[in-house]
Structure 1
Amino acid sequence: MALIVPVKFAPAPLPARVSCRRQFHVAAALSTPPRSNTPAVDWVKETDSFFEQDSRPIMLFDGVCNLCNGGVKFVRDSDRRRNIRYEALQSESGKKLLQRSGRAPDDISSVVLVEKDRSYIKSEAVLKIMEYIDMPFPQLALFLQFVPLFVRDFVYDNIADNRYNIFGRSDSCDI
């Protein structure tokens, strides 16, 4: 005959809540590593002037991509309160803001939303932009946040990688 003794188990500790938002905090962007004898540049200080007079976020987009230009026109038309500013990734200001966001100055692979204290890339940037524009997009963004980040970025990357083949490109920025 076996004796069964109840054993109390302590519940496993719950993991700390992890945010699904992939954010790049600007304070973490200390500087670019020095190349040879060139001094390091603090891109946060270098680009703070973009937010001194106007604290609105800046949407960085591929200025020669027809899909991106159409997206900017759509956001601009849906943003009646003018909550967002726009800058092409290829512009000098766009390159500086990319470096502020911890990205290479010639990286035009993703839309980036730069706020004063943080930056968002890929699908996170799209969702954050949706939060700034008019109804029903903030509610749609809230719903889409429940889709796992790897799924959203997988879809984003597939569209981004084929955007020139599907939508074409222009010779200059239309915006």
Structure 2
Amino acid sequence: MAAILDKGAYSYRDDPGVPAFDDSGQIAVMDGNCALCSWGARTIARLDHMEMFRICPVQSGTGDALVRHYGLDPTDPETWLFLEDGHAWSGMEAIIRIGERLGGAGRLATLLRILPRGMREWLYRRIAQNRYRFGKSDMCTIPDEKLRRRLMT
């Protein structure tokens, strides 16, 4: 988390390793092969009625470059990144912030704030490290049109 906090807003724009992309909305970067992440991506697509969110698989060139820019390892199961207004969050904080932005049922994620930060991140790490027990799924091949419109490469 410290690597993310040390970066200024839109710092990735000055990083030659990060390809240029449209960063006008919120972006969730997650594992495109994880069934839980694919479920999360479909949930975002379903709840985001204003279509402000885009989903970027960490396995894509942009996703890989973004997580590396923030000092995260794209092969680490704990890597999950949320970008909004040029600022970045990872882990459970990213999930909670996405839930807040989505509103409605998405706001249920904010209930996780009743847990101390350390416990939230511990819970996130446990789930992330065991995510493939829930199965694998190629997010990019899911025939959900709402999701496919939001995918970044």
**Does TM, normalized by the shorter one, top 0.5?**
yes
1:131 shift after superposition? 1.2
Report 1:88-127 matches (<5 A): 88-127=57-96
> What's 2:117 paired with?
149
Flag the 1:121–1:24 CA change in 2: closer, same or farther, 3 A.
same
The unaligned stretches of length 5 or more in structure 2 are: 143-153
Return the index of the structure with the highest Cα Rg.
1
> What's 1:26 paired with?
7
User: What residue identity is the alignment partner of 1:147?
Assistant: L
Higher relative contact order (CA 8 A, sep 6+): 2
Report 1:1-175 matches (<5 A): 24=5, 26-27=7-8, 43-46=12-15, 47=18, 49-51=20-22, 54-138=23-107, 140-165=108-133, 167-170=134-137, 173-174=140-141
> What's 1:10 paired with?
none
- Contact 1:69/1:174 (8 A) holds in 2: no
> What's 2:151 paired with?
none
How many Å separate the matches in 2 of 1:77 and 1:132?
13
User: What residue identity is the alignment partner of 2:136?
Assistant: R
User: What residue identity is the alignment partner of 2:56?
Assistant: E
1:48 shift after superposition? 8.0
RMSD: 2.7
Flag the 1:97–1:116 CA change in 2: closer, same or farther, 3 A.
farther
How many Å separate the matches in 2 of 1:76 and 1:29?
24
In terms of fraction of residues, the more helix-rich structure is 2
Q: Normalising by the residue count of structure 2, what TM-score does the alignment of the two structures yield?
A: 0.75
1:111 shift after superposition? 1.7
SS at match of 1:26: coil
Q: Normalising by the residue count of structure 1, what TM-score does the alignment of the two structures yield?
A: 0.67
How many Å separate the matches in 2 of 1:78 and 1:172?
17
Identity of aligned residues (%): 30
The unaligned stretches of length 5 or more in structure 1 are: 1-21, 31-42
- Contact 1:89/1:108 (8 A) holds in 2: no
Flag the 1:121–1:156 CA change in 2: closer, same or farther, 3 A.
same
